Amino acid sequence: MMPDFPHRHLIGIEGLSPGEINFLLDEAEQWIAFNRSVRKLDDRLAGLTQVNAFFENSTRTLLSFEVAGKRLGAQVVNMHVAQSSVQKGETLLDTALTINAMRPDVFVMRHAAAGAAREVASVMDCPVINGGDGWGEHPTQALLDALTIRRRKGRIEGLKIAICGDIRHSRVARSNLLALRALGGDVRVVGPAALLPSTAELGGAPSFTDFDEGIAGADVVMMLRIQRERMEESLAERLDDYHALYGLTRARLAQAAPDAIVMHPGPINRGVEIASDVADDPERSAILEQVELGVAVRMACLDVLTRERRS
């Protein structure tokens, strides 16, 4: 593996140095103009097999990994979990061993259990990329978010970044806290007390339960959806007034810096955590830019992690 990125897998942001994070961001930069051209074909992964196994639903992450692999020339296979032997009771490790026996060159996975990607990586002979594991991490989302901020603002260091919403259940929040703080961002979290993790989990990042106070003067306001599928029913029932207290409206955005940008990893719940006129604002919203840069970031990760196999 290249000395700039000595890791075999990409399981999380935890364990990456600021230099290694910046290396991946710099690698992604080259693919942005490439992806905006009419013809988008590079053959560096020609002859390599990429398997995407998503045990949870996905639009942006799964599709962008498929697009990324195909633009790099890989043979991309999407495992259809609903039609797989998982439905017959096959364990995750048995599924991984079965796929490994088919000799893929890179394996991208998403799973509902935190730690699943690391467990699978322990038995795979090829690089594993974590596309999201339960409440754990979502490293490529944090990388694309960092790249979006860096391109919009010219830097990350010293920026005031507010991550707002369901922090407790969000792998996106965890990976972003690690990545953006490593790159010098002044990161805080904002949300109802019931949706905030423990102080220890925040690693010293300040937390706010008052939305207006939390986003005051922020250069970046990153909204997250309520993950009702990961919370107790009793808690979900207490969030009916969520938009009134924590929804980002144009009036609320006025509390942030005048040139603050708005981000959201998707899927968006319009009228819940964010108003449509804010999400669709062509000047302030970077939401679709996040999607675009996600392809570039995932191309960079696929390229970097397979270089040793291609050498």
- Catalytic amino acids? 60-61, 88, 110, 138
List residues bridging with 190 in a β-sheet: 164, 208
Nearest-angstrom CA–CA distance, 297 and 304:
11
Q: By C-alpha distance, which of 60, 59, 62, 42 is closest to 51?
A: 62
Position of tokens 């965890």? 174
Quick one: how far is CA 214 from the chain centroid?
22
Quick one: how far is CA 58 from the chain centroid?
12
SS3 sequence, 82-119?
HHCHHHHCCCHHHHHHHHHHCCCCEEEEEECCCCHHHH
- Residues whose CB is less than 8 angstroms from the CB of residue 122 and which lie 6 or more positions away in sequence, other chains included: none
